[in-house]
Structure 1
Amino acid sequence: MVAITLDLKFRVVPADRQVFIAFPGKGYGLYSTFHKLDRIFPQLPGLELFAGRPFSEQPEILARIARARRLRNWHRSKRQSDPPSRRLSEYDRVDAGLYTHKGVLAGFFERAKKGDLVVVPPGELVGHVLIGELQDAPEKFENIEIPELFDRDEVPTRKVKWLASTPKADLSLGMLRRFPKPNAFTTLDREFYQEIFSLAYGSYSLEDLYVSRFDVTEADFSTIDDYRIQQLFNAVAAMSQQHNLGTSGAREAVHDADGWDGIIDLLTDHSYIPDLSVNINSPGSLTLSCQRTVPLVVAALIALSSLGAMASWTAAQAETITIKNSAAPAGDSCTADVAQETLEQLKLMGYARWQNLCKKIAETKVNTGLKEQSSAK
């Protein structure tokens, strides 16, 4: 008996997920340190914030910032003069810059929550933009020494898991225009969230948005390759519509349709028609997004096809396909919906069509290097 495990591997993104730009210091000098340490931090050594305490309850914050600025400048000068005073009572002058830095610190240690994303730009156009996920709650920061920067003066840091490193030149023009902002820690406009989520997660669901990214290795597609890919996407969309209609007539319409184009002709509800954005470099990507789960079902079916038509069909008929999502919490309802529809579509198209689809997918993979995020074994 053939037993198959299909891992959907898409992230379920909460509605309150935020994205921030963490600017890596003057002259982008902190970029490599952020990357190496898997941490981000403000360029303010010697703050001596109290870990575990909310930022709003940190005492004498303006004096701490004033001292940290003085210490930062001293370290930048290679510590060639006497060190600044450590006594907070000597930093009682208030200027507008202190409030600017306080706002930056509030971003690092109050507004940015565990699970939120941070984007770190490089200084060079040919450099790579880092995208990471914050691993700790804002008040759970850690004060650490970074001797090559600040000797023994500690700096408060947030732990980051880097999810993506993408060439800066591959980002949209609008996204690139967000980087020269002078503030060290800023909230990214929501209009760019889909771009960043796709780079960070590959495939994900967010409320009524479903996205799958497919990597490709070839910069040039033939018209046949393009036709096959779009035919696959649209055919799954049509079958998704027919499946959700839930009537025997809708299912019979799929069975009676003349080829894949006949199935696509059944597609009448525009909410099932996915949008496709193409980034064809080498490597590049195809990003499919939709109000329905179509992109996630496409990725699942492509993954199943890699095991061969007969093996996957036999397992489906014997109900020995186990579908999980290692990137989502247990009991996630979206995962259950995608799993059910994947199996229903497989049965809906029948073995002959499934065999034909597997052949088309295999040929497309050979020609384009098409790779889905889901996996089957």
Structure 2
Amino acid sequence: MIRVDIHTREILADTRIYVARPGPNYKFYELFVDRNFVGPDLPGLDLPAFDRLAEVEDFMERVKRSVAIRRYAVRGERDIPVPAADLADYVDAPTSRSIAQFARVARAYFSTMKAGDLIIVPPANFRGLAHIGELTGPPNQIKATYPNLYPGTPLQGRNVAWRAVLEKAKLPAQALDALQKPSALFLLTREAWPAIFRRAYGSYSMPGEYGARFEITSEKFQTTDDFLIQAFFNFVSKNTELVQAGSDDLLSLRDGAFAAGGAAPDLYTNVNSPGGLSLKSLIVTPIVIAVMLTLAISVGVEAYAAAEAGTLVFGNSQAPAGDQCTVEVSNQVVTQLRLLGYDRWSEACEVARSAAEKTGISTTVAVGN
């Protein structure tokens, strides 16, 4: 029995990706990362328990008090009185533009942002590591943390599970451009999402889009190495198209390497010692490629025997049991192995293993017994 975990995250249609600046001048970067925390720079907000944020009737008074505490903590040489603790003292206080902005950020954290949404926390240094995390609970599941900047007055925010890191300079251009403005929190433009999904999960599926990432660990990456990898990618891409069309006449690697045409997924390359290759497509091809490559490298010709015997079993640790992506990938891989036969699959395995030896190429797909 050979068990394959396609390890593909199912992304819901309403999932969003945000970028959060960790406090003034990125001062809370280490705090956020170490505490698995993200939240607004509003010390002493002290939100009570709620189901929906709209239930907190004194929300604006709490924001005004927090802004006053924040200004007092960072006052420098200015002579500012100690902020009043009683919320009643803020009922008639004016709502400035900055207070309104803080309120919008707080509403985003405690009302808009859902469990499963991704959030990027960048460092100040362009060579530092931006952390990509996933919100783990609903908006009303509040977490507190205590920064040194605000003694005795905690920040409230959300728990986050870090999924990946990426050098800040390599963030999508849309994120870097937006970070030039002093926004505390912003929604990343949709066109930049696939790159973040691939970085966070390796492989992902969402309505009308599939993606997979392939890590390259070798210090050297030559044109001959790239040729072997692209040959395998094209071979699987073309045969995926043929299987979808109902054909039982698949191509060998030598033929398929030059026949992918429109069947090939979009390719994104960054192999700067080390780096990675990423694929994106409207159909399941990138994930089929990831599974076939992993089987070729780690199992070899035995994968063909398992497909013939019905002992090649598929699952997905990143999605509910029986998810459609796993079904599609399973059908594609088993069909391709059976139709390729021992000799053609053996040839493909040799090329894949040669590429792996030279580049260290790997996927998030897991194979075991």
- TM bucket by the smaller chain? over 0.9
Determine the structure 2 residue equivalent to 1:370.
Answer: 361
Tell me the percent identity: 32
Match of 2:118 in 1: 117
1:251 aligned residue (242, 248, 263): 248
Query: Distance between the aligned counterparts of 1:108 and 1:55, measured in 2?
Result: 10
Give the match's secondary structure for 1:214.
strand
1:117-170 CA-to-partner distances (Å, cap 9, x unmatched) read 01111101111111100011112223x351623222232220000111111122
Cα pair distance change 1:147/1:32, threshold 3 Å: closer
Offset, 1:349: 1.1
Alignment of 1:340-359 (within 5 A): 340-359=331-350
- 2:14 partner SS: coil
User: Residue 173 of structure 1 corresponds to which residue in structure 2?
Assistant: 173
Q: Who is 2:136 aligned against?
A: 135
1:219–1:284 Cα contact (<8 Å) kept: no
Number of aligned positions between the proteins: 365
Aligned-partner SS, 2:109: helix
Q: Deviations over 1:321-359 (max 9, x none)?
A: 111110111121111111111111111211101111111
- Report the residue type matching 2:118 in the other structure: L
Shift of 1:56: 2.1
Asked if the contact 2:234/2:258 (under 8 Å) is kept, the reply is no
Matched letter for residue 251 of structure 1:
D
- Separation in 1, partners of 2:65, 2:316: 48
Matched residue, 1:200: 200
Find the aligned partners of 1:96 and 1:308 in 2 and give their Cα distance. 61
Which residue of 25, 37, 47 maps to 1:27? 25
User: Which of 252, 272, 280 lines up with 1:289 in the alignment?
Assistant: 280
Match of 2:255 in 1: 262
Cα separation, partners in 2 of 1:157 and 1:175, compared to 1, 3 Å: closer
Runs (5+) with no aligned partner, structure 1? none
- Contact 2:253/2:348 (CA < 8 Å) preserved in 1? no
Moved more, 166-175 or 65-74: 166-175
Mark the runs of 5 or more structure 2 residues left unpaired by the alignment: none
User: Match of 2:41?
Assistant: 43
Alpha-carbon contact 1:275-1:288 (below 8 Å) kept? yes
Q: 2:4 aligns with which of 3, 6, 11?
A: 6
Q: Counterparts of 2:145 and 2:29 in 1: how far apart (Å)? A: 17
1:45, distance to aligned residue in structure 2 (A):
1.2
Tell me how far 1:311 sits from its aligned partner.
2.4
1:219 Cα deviation (Å)? Answer: 4.8
- 2:164 corresponds in structure 1 to 164
What is the TM-score with the length of structure 2 in the denominator? 0.93
SS at match of 1:338: helix
Partner SS for 1:330: coil
Q: Deviations over 1:226-267 (max 9, x none)?
A: 111111111111111111111xxx323x2xx5x434335654
Matched, 1:85 2:84: yes
- The separation in 2 between residues aligned to 1:226 and 1:315, in whole angstroms, is 29
How far apart, CA to CA, are the structure 2 residues paired with 1:261 and 1:363? 15
Q: 1:204 to 1:305 in 2, by over 3 A?
A: same
> Does the 8 Å contact 2:67/2:99 carry over to 1?
no
Counterparts in 2 of 1:48-87, with a 5 A limit?
A: 48-76=46-74, 83-87=82-86
